[in-house]
Structure 1
């Protein structure tokens, strides 16, 4: 029965420590954070084998504190951040592949194209800059002609269009042949 309570205490301690460590998914973690999180999982299981629950919780807490200290040092020092986390690498510049950086990242052109397709990009020439971020994600900026139209840009275009279009009474009148989509609904509400 003691074994069951110890298991619950270890799980609660692990959840608490991981909450303190932060809310990053595995894809967003740096290499050091991933190692620490895996180590915490291993440490928490140890008391079940070795019967030393307090030592396991203290060891897991030390690992979490080390992650917090590493993150703090990365905030304060760019050199330390570059050493621990790394920097993003440019893999496409002005529609051209950077083969040298792809080799450094051990990433094939096919793998890069797969990531681009997952982002909805069909043509490498449409990309101004693409990077592989330290967490492994693809970051990109499209060229001006390949960017999708935003609502704000659409409104500006519509304002320009309607300013240039001459307004007269014939443009503003509703033609009798044009059906009103809501006439049927209005008629049903009047006649129950």
Structure 2
């Protein structure tokens, strides 16, 4: 194998990583349509110089794609109409425990696919959902009905305060004695750890 091919590959990987790092940190599932197209295009472009022997042109083309993506994202922040056109808006697919069949048809989404997304979120019943939306990045957003919401720590503390005030006071005192593992981060102090773990 020609050594120049290895060097070109390494340069392209480094340049591609840097340019993609600039474009932002998102998984494929979280990407918008424009971002997905740019990523696919960058992947295709980045292989070209190994065949065509033009590393600088490839890096320049990749930089143009990333710059275009950044401009589009800036325009989406500034103008709601641009965001609506490029990214789209969330679509309500469940409302008060009832499927919105019209929205599902527009999204070309079957009930089975919706249920699969619900299972991934740990949701068992459509009837428990107050609102569910399909977001522009394809993920499921939802709000549960009041009766189906899990009890929060704050709500549990209120119940315990109401029925067991002494036990809650003892627990609070005990928690104050426990060291906070994040104090080291806040104080930026090093403790007695080996140098290689600092």
For the aligned pair, the TM-score class normalised by the smaller chain equals 0.7 to 0.9
The corresponding residue for 2:36 is 34
Q: Secondary structure of 1:129's partner? A: strand
Aligned to 1:139: 141
Q: Which residue of the partner structure matches residue 176 of structure 2?
A: none
Query: Does 1:18 pair with 2:39?
Result: no
Paired position in structure 2 for 1:57: 59
Aligned equivalent of 1:159: 161
Aligned partner of residue 140 in structure 1, secondary structure = strand
Looking at structure 1, the residues matched to 128 and 94 of structure 2 have their Cα atoms a distance apart, in angstroms, of 10
Query: 1:120 offset after TM fit, Å?
Result: 1.6
Q: Secondary structure at the match of 1:131?
A: strand
Alpha-carbon distance between aligned partners in 2 of 1:161 and 1:110, rounded to the nearest angstrom: 44
CA distance in 1, matches of 2:117, 2:54: 46
Q: Distance in 2 between matches of 1:123 and 1:100?
A: 20
In the TM superposition, 1:42-191 aligns within 5 A as 42-162=44-164
Separation in structure 2 between the aligned mates of residue 104 and residue 116 of structure 1, nearest angstrom = 19
User: 1:40 and 1:114 mapped to 2: Cα distance?
Assistant: 31
Quote the offset at 1:128 in angstroms. 0.4
In structure 1, list runs of 5 or more residues that go unmatched. Answer: 164-192
Runs (4+) off by over 6 Å: none
Gaps of 5+ in 2: 166-198
Of 20-29 and 113-122, deviating more is: 113-122
Aligned length, in residue pairs: 163
Paired residue secondary structure (2:137): coil
Q: 1:3: which partner in 2?
A: 5
Give, in angstroms, the shift of residue 162 of structure 1.
3.2
How far does residue 65 in structure 1 lie from its aligned partner after superposition? 0.3
